Amino acid sequence: MHELIRLTAREAVDLLWRRELSPLDLVEASARRIAEVDPIVNAMPILCLDRAREHARRLMQQRASGGERPRGWLGGLPIAIKDLMDVAGVRTTYGSELFKDNVAQRSHPLVERIEALGAIVIGKSNTPEFGVGGNTVNTLFGSTRNPWNTRLTAGGSTGGGAAALAAGEIWLAQGTDHGGSLRRPASYCSVVGMRCSPGRITRGSARTLWTAQVVQGPMARNVEDLALFLDAMAGFCPHDPLTFEAPAVGFSDAVRAARAPKRIAYTGDFGGKVAVDHETRDICARMVRQFETLGCVVDEASPDVTDADEVFLVLRGQNFLVERESLLDTHREQLKPDLVWNIERGRQQNVARLAWAERERSKLYQRVVALLQTHELLITPAATTPAWDVGQRHPPLIDGVKPPNIMAASLLNSIITLTGLPSLVVPCGFDQFGRPIGLQITGRPRGEAAVLQAGALFEQMTGLARRLPIDPAAGVPAPGDPVPGTPPPEHGAAPSAPGPASSS
């Protein structure tokens, strides 16, 4: 079973296509690995093993021989769905006590799409309440821990998916991204995560269908696997007015034909406008030079990002007001402080402030796209800090300074969110404490293929993807560890990590 877990998603799907493996083989391998390591990392608190086994048996009965493999075909590969997305017949809590007993009656359109291509949902990955927070922790299931060092956070809000991938519990994970929820956990856990262009992947039943800040996206152990999952996810959906058709050439095909970019821009801190830990800056600045071995010119260059932090907070507040205002009126005392803070910001803003933010966002987009007319990619560190102590909601310090607000640690990511450009995070090394560091690779409008190509070439040069999966292990204390006895995050004392809940 351990040998099956060590397969890449692409290798596993190839074996499924040739019938050298069955979907049930992979379901059982995933289930055993989860039983072995999830009591340590707490990444997959809700399992639907009976549903997964039944789905595997149906696929084995329906599998036709011959023909050409459909694009994005997953053919019986177990995956994780973030516990923000409905899966029919499975407990879906959104990380909230308010929905602790909720069982979805119908699957989200994205789940329906990828299940139609043979994905098997093995369970739900952990998330902070309603996906709000840089640390994956909630009062229902407790904290998800980083497999590289279980004293550390796996990040948020797709921390459950990132930790499950790194520990070998699943091969692919679905997630969401607003201010870096796919990208920061990928960096902290040394996996690969992508924020795609708005409209690339359906958001289905979201309340904010006409805004472009929150997107669905793929996470994987390597770039080729991520491209495979993106092929399964991408395409027009009548439930989402922003979606558009998948490209003529699939993302997996684009990765296999990867070419090196000719010129890229790199900035470690956007000209000093973003606080980033110095060791993170040093590692990323050194590793980005790997592209020069491919004949690529690497320029130190940065667009002007003045006021981007405030622009993001204004628009984020509006987004939360649309999505969650009713909860503030009816269940304020049961909501986590981060969620209340975001909704309150939305309530306190006037129309003139929103208009200002929209104007400034447009100017930022124009400046970034102008840079990308002369450079094919914009590359930055993936996160302002490495992973921090799992007992804290947010990093206590960024480059030695206390962050000014709860979103400051996401600024490298939220700047890119404002542009709507595709952005991929790939591992690029480890700091002196053994904490993973990642690069964020941003491309031109709807330029996912070029971003994936660059990420795949960089991954080949570093060889870091070959280190996964890993067995979870405790490491040295992280800098800034809380004083013993300090309460854990969220609503006072969080429960210890339970075993996975069963739902069929």
What sign results for the dihedral spanned by CA atoms 388, 433, 270, 427? negative
Question: What homologous superfamily does CATH list for 2-63+71-309+350-494?
Answer: Amidase signature (AS) domain (3.90.1300.10)
Give the list of residues 6+ apart from residue 289 with CB closer than 8 angstroms, or none.
298
pLDDT in tens, 343-400: 999 999 999 999 999 999 999 999 999 999 999 999 999 999 999 999 999 999 999 9
For residues 320 and 339, the answer to whether their CB atoms sit within 8 Å is: yes
468 close to 113: Cβ distance less than 8 angstroms: no
Residue labelled with tokens 């093993």: 49
Nearest-10 Cα torsion for 480, 482, 487, 490: 10
DSSP label at residue 490: S
DSSP states of 268-291: SSTTTTS---HHHHHHHHHHGGGG
The answer, as to whether pTM is greater than 0.85, is yes
Kindly report, residue by residue over 231-273, the tens digit of the pLDDT: 999 999 999 999 999 999 999 999 999 999 999 999 999 999 9
- Residues 6 or more apart whose Cβ sits within 8 Å of residue 230: 72, 194, 196, 200, 201, 217, 218, 251, 448, 452
Give pLDDT < 50 ranges for the chain: 483-500, 502-504
DSSP letter (8 states) at residue 67: S
Residue whose structure tokens are 């309603």: 130
Query: Is 250 within 8 Å of 231 (Cβ atoms)?
Result: yes
pLDDT of residue 211: 87
Q: Give the ranges where 386-487 is alpha helix by DSSP (H).
A: 411-419, 448-462
Half-sphere exposure of 490 (CA within 13 A, CB side): 27
Please tell me the predicted confidence (pLDDT) of residue 477. Answer: 77
Domain boundaries, the chain: 2-63+71-309+350-494
Backbone angles phi, psi at 426, to 5 degrees: -130, 145
Residue linked to tokens 């490491």: 475
What per-residue string of b and e applies to 161-179 under the rule 16 or more CB within 10 Å gives b? bbbbbbbbbbbbbbbbbbb
Who's near 65: CB < 8 A, 6+ residues apart?
Answer: none
Measured distance CA(336)–CA(134) in Å, rounded: 13
* Inter-residue contact 500 to 38 (CB < 8 Å): yes
Count of other CB atoms within 10 angstroms of residue 17: 15
- State how far the Cα of 38 lies from the Cα of 163, in Å rounded to an integer: 9
Residue 78 gets which letter from DSSP? Answer: E
For residue 284, give the nearest of 193, 377, 383 by alpha carbon: 383
Distance CA 196, CA 217 (A): 6
DSSP 398: B
Show the tokens assigned to 186. Answer: 């990928």
Query: What is the rounded distance in angstroms from the CA atom of residue 93 to the CA atom of residue 86?
Result: 9
Cis peptide bond prior to 469, omega within 30° of 0: yes
How far is residue 157's CA from residue 141's CA, in Å, rounded to a whole number? 14
What pLDDT sits at residue 64?
56
Instruction: For residue 401, give the DSSP letter.
Output: B
pLDDT at 68: 86
Specify whether the CB–CB gap between 56 and 120 falls below 8 A.
Answer: yes
Residue 397: which of 285, 286, 479, 501 has the closest Cα?
479
pLDDT recorded at residue 444: 98
Check if the beta carbon of residue 383 is closer than 8 Å to that of residue 152: no
What pLDDT, on the 0 to 100 scale, is given for residue 377?
98
Other beta carbons less than 10 A from residue 263's beta carbon: 14
Q: Which of 292, 228, 223 is nearest to 264 (CA)?
A: 292
